[in-house]
Amino acid sequence: AQSVTQLGSHVSVSEGALVLLRCNYSSSVPPYLFWYVQYPNQGLQLLLKYTSAATLVKGINGFEAEFKKSETSFHLTKPSAHMSDAAEYFCAVRVAGGTSYGKLTFGQGTILTVHP
């Protein structure tokens, strides 16, 4: 079975600073990996996804993530934080093939706070 661990339930950065949100996964088969963002009392919006093409994936709003198989990681980064980036971020994994029926397994979420 696959699982996802997000290190740090809360991350705080200053506006203009680097954003780094950590995600590690476990999967016995090649995974598809996703990052979603959730603003308060709203649904989840897809930021980016890794589907075994390029290991560096660029998403919306200036975010990107790098798939590192040796480290089983898929950390999310943004060079310069903006106040509007304050939200909760979820990493998710889906296994390829099999009978998973597209099931996503989510991490616990990381709340990003951006200080002026």
Where does this chain bind another protein (CB under 8 A)? 4, 9, 32, 34, 36, 41-46, 49, 51-53, 90, 94, 96, 101-104, 106-109
Pick 17 or 104: Cβ nearer another protein: 104
Token pair for 69: 């198989």
Q: Minimum distance between the CB of residue 75 and another protein, rounded to whole angstroms?
A: 17
Q: CA Rg, the chain, in Å?
A: 14
For 1-116, list the strands marked E by DSSP.
3-7, 10-14, 19-26, 31-38, 44-50, 56-58, 64-68, 73-78, 87-95, 105-106, 110-115
Q: Which lies closer to another protein via its Cβ, residue 14 or residue 55?
A: 55
State the minimum distance, in angstroms, from the CB of residue 37 to another protein.
Answer: 11
**Nearer to another protein (CB atom), residue 28 or residue 41:** 41
What's the residue count for the chain? 116
